Amino acid sequence: MLNDASGDGTYRDEIEDTFLLLEENFYTLYQRCSTSEQKKHLCDTYSAARYACWKVVRQARPDGWSVDSNASRDLKMANLQLAAMLQNPGDIGASLSLAAEAVRLATSLAPGPAAA
C-alpha cells in the first residue's frame, strides 16, 4: 500500500481516480470540444493521466521516496472538483483546465525514473 506522508489514504488511489475520471468521460468531453486544439489538449491530458497511472502501478517506489501530503490533498480536491464538473459539464475550456491541473498533480506524485 502506497500511503502519502500524512497517512490519509493512498496517493495511488487518487492518481488512478484522475485517470478513471478522464477515461470514463473522454467521449463526452471530446464531443464537447469545439476546436482541434481542444481535442488535442484533451488527448494529451488523457495520455498523461494514463501514463501517470501506469507509472504508479508498474514502477516500484524508490527507497526513501515519500509523497508530498499537500500535493496529495490538492489532487484529491482537484479530483472532487473535476467529478462535480463532469456531472454537469459547462464550459469545456474550464473542464480541460481542471483536468490538466489534476493530471499535473498526479504526474508530480507518480514515481520518477530511478536516478543513475
Whether residue 91 is contained in a domain is answered as: yes
In this predicted structure, what is the pLDDT of residue 90? 80
As a whole number, mean pLDDT of residues 38-49 equals 97
**What's the CA gap between 14 and 20, in Å, rounded?**
10
Percent of the chain with pLDDT over 70: 79
Which residue shows C-alpha cell 497511472? 53
Is the confidence at residue 39, as pLDDT, over 60?
A: yes
The parent domain of residue 41 ranges over 11-60+67-109
Q: Kind and range of the H or E element at 34? A: none
Whether residue 6 is contained in a domain is answered as: no
Query: What band does 58 get if pLDDT is binned at 50, 70 and 90?
Result: confident
pTM over the 0.75 mark? yes
Whether residue 1 is contained in a domain is answered as: no
**Looking at the 3D structure of the chain, how many domains does it have?**
1
Whether residue 55 is contained in a domain is answered as: yes
Please report the sign of the dihedral spanned by the C-alpha atoms of residue 92, residue 96, residue 99, residue 105: negative
